[in-house]
Chain A
Amino acid sequence: MIKDMDKPERSKSLLRFAAPQMFYPLAGRLAPWFAAAAVIFVGIGIWLGFFVAPTDAQQGEVYRVIYIHVAAAWMSMFVYLLMAFWSAVGLVMNTRLSFIMAQALAPTGAMFCFVALWTGALWGKPTWGAYWVWDARLTSQLLLLFLYLGFMALTRAIEDPRRADKAGAIIALVGAINVPIIYFSVKWWNTLHQGASVSLNKAPSMATTMLVGMLVMAIAAWAYTIAITLWRVRSLILERERHTEWVAAELNALEGKV
């Protein structure tokens, strides 16, 4: 394995990027583009959402928080799926980069989870009169945040990186199987306990500019996630491979630049 790393094959297969040494420069080249895309789309999305989109007939100006809230909530769920996907790939193919990918995604997912809960609370106060209701979506989002925290705590508590990788992958997969179960159980519990609870459903017809603004913000969230994950992957690769020659050379080059 280590021999292969020292002499990376010059094949044209995309799989060659599964080697951390090959992926490191690729991630460095791609990340700024995604970061730039994120900035541009956030700009457009905020402009559309806060200046162009009309005021909601029922909720007034408060509804504008959805431009951040919905994108964050979508992203927090997608990121967990991605994390579980890379964990499965890592367990099946035994590629270190997949585990690094999963671990680089987790903090961003947790961040989006927290942002979705926080903006949801700020939206809930003027709309429902309470910062928090035990609604199915809010509750399952909170449990998703706990799953992220558990994953991050476990991978950081284990010192041996190989064990940390695999243990994290298993808990990510166990969590992924449980997410739908948790969602439906909470939903059912909610309907049983609260009767007619506050509906999160928005007005049936949505102005096109509102929808476009939300989609643009979702694209921005994607671009941000990709950029920040690639940067985090680069840091993790440097940390993991710090004993190798290419990392030493890379670090020397970086110091030369500064």
Chain B
Amino acid sequence: MSRALGPFAAVLDRDLLLAWRGRADVLVTLAFFVVVVCLFPFGVGAEPNQLRAIAPGVLWVAALLSTLLSLHRLFAQDHVDGTLEQLLLSPEPTVLWVVAKISAHWIATGLPLVVAAPALALLFDVEQSALGVLVLSLALGTPILALLGAVGAALTLGLRGGGMLLALLVLPLFVPVLIFGAGAVDAHLSGSGAQAHLLLLGGGLLGALALAPLACAAALRIAVE
């Protein structure tokens, strides 16, 4: 057990340390999230009922876009300095350290969004009882975004104009997560209960955790080949 977890923990530690040392980058993702959310009232007007109605969707779309913007950093640095090739050459299973890298990436960029979301929801006058559902839906949903996005990041690694291409590749795949994530909060607010949405998100997370790292590992091998 510990032997299998050794490389996982090593890569996780390393990536978290790198994220900590370069925390300005991480904070930019969070700041982007906050700014995008704050732009919406200027666009649609500050009418409280309207803001309350669009809040879950706005928070979720903003979370999705900040995830997208941070994705290119997932493998780019390691690709440039050759770490990625060394990892691929190592005898450790690729899927294992790919999951470690994605986990570290989510802890650095996804988790702050989850933590910041309730405060932003208050700006939209969302009912306090719904904040828990919002946090839970983001906590289940943003890892799916990171896992799916990692496949796209690996496929577009080192390409010119990779950022726009990455958006085109992964945004259509994000749609179900967006539907169930924002839907969970809406369902809670409308009184029908968020359980079904959250269960589906949890199922999606398990499915993505099982399949996406395989596709990601294959894509990384192709990119470095």
B-contacting residues of A (Cβ < 8 Å)? 143, 146-147, 149-150, 153-154, 157-158, 162-163, 166-167, 170-171, 173-175, 177-178, 181-182, 185-186, 188-189, 192
Report the stretch among B7-15, B96-104, B120-128, B163-171 that lies at the interface: B163-171
| Extra inter-chain contacts (15) besides given A163-B225, A170-B219, CB under 8 Å | A150-B172, A153-B165, A158-B159, A167-B155, A167-B219, A167-B222, A174-B173, A178-B176, A181-B176, A182-B176, A185-B176, A186-B176, A186-B179, A189-B179, A192-B186
Residues of B within 8 A of A158 (CB): 159
Residue B91 CB within 8 A of the other chain: no
Which residues of A have CB within 8 Å of B187?
Answer: 192
Instruction: Give the residues in chain A near B222, CB-CB below 8 Å.
Output: 163, 166-167, 170
**For the complex, is B87 an interface residue (Cβ under 8 Å from A)?**
no
Residue in contact with A174 in the complex, picked from B151, B168, B204, B225, CB distance below 8 Å: B151
B172 CB, min distance to chain A CBs, angstroms: 4
| Residue from A149, A177, A182 in contact with B175 in the complex, judged by beta carbons closer than 8 Å | A182
- The B126-165 residues at the A interface (CB cut-off 8 A) are 148, 151-152, 155-156, 159-162, 165
Whole-angstrom CA separation of A23 from B162 in the bound complex: 34
Give the distance in Å from the alpha carbon of A181 to the alpha carbon of B88 in the complex. Answer: 31
Q: Is the CB of B168 within 8 A of A149?
A: yes
Q: How many residues of B contact A (CB 8 A)?
A: 30
Report the nearest A residue to B180, measured CB to CB. A185
SS class, residues of chain A in contact with chain B: helix
Residue of A nearest to B177 (CB): A185
Residue on A nearest B192 in the bound complex, by CB: A192
Q: Which A residues touch B165, using CB under 8 A?
A: 150, 153-154, 157
Q: Let me know if A143 and B155 touch, CB within 8 A.
A: no
Task: Tell yes or no: B215 within 8 A of A by CB.
Answer: yes
User: Which residues on A sit within 8 Å (CB–CB) of B211?
Assistant: 177
Is B223 in contact with chain A by the CB < 8 A criterion? yes
| Closest chain B CB from A90 CB (angstroms) | 12
A163 CB to closest chain B CB, in angstroms? 6
Closest partner residue, chain A, to B216 (CB atom): A170
Closest 5 CB pairs of A and B: A185-B176, A146-B172, A189-B179, A150-B169, A166-B222
Separation of A154 and B170 alpha carbons in the complex (Å): 12
Measured in the bound complex, the distance between the Cα atoms of B173 and A177 in whole Å is 10
Nearest A residue to B219 by beta-carbon distance? Answer: A170
Residue B213 at the A interface, CB < 8 A?
no
Q: How far apart sit A187 and B200, CA to CA, in the bound complex (Å)?
A: 14
State A171–B168 Cα separation when bound (angstroms): 11
CB closest chain-A residue, reference B167: A150
Chain A CB within 8 A of B65 CB: no
Chain B 182-219 residues near chain A, CB threshold 8 A: 183, 186-187, 204, 211, 215, 218-219
CB proximity of B205 to chain A, nearest CB, Å = 13
Contact B169 A154 (CB under 8 A): yes
A-B contact pairs, 14 of them (CB 8 A): A143-B175, A150-B172, A153-B168, A154-B155, A154-B165, A157-B162, A163-B223, A167-B223, A170-B218, A171-B169, A178-B172, A182-B173, A186-B175, A192-B186
Bound CA–CA A7/B25 (angstroms): 56
Within 8 Å CB of B162, what residues of A?
Answer: 157
Given known A157-B159, A173-B215, A177-B211, contact A185–B175 (CB-CB < 8 A): yes
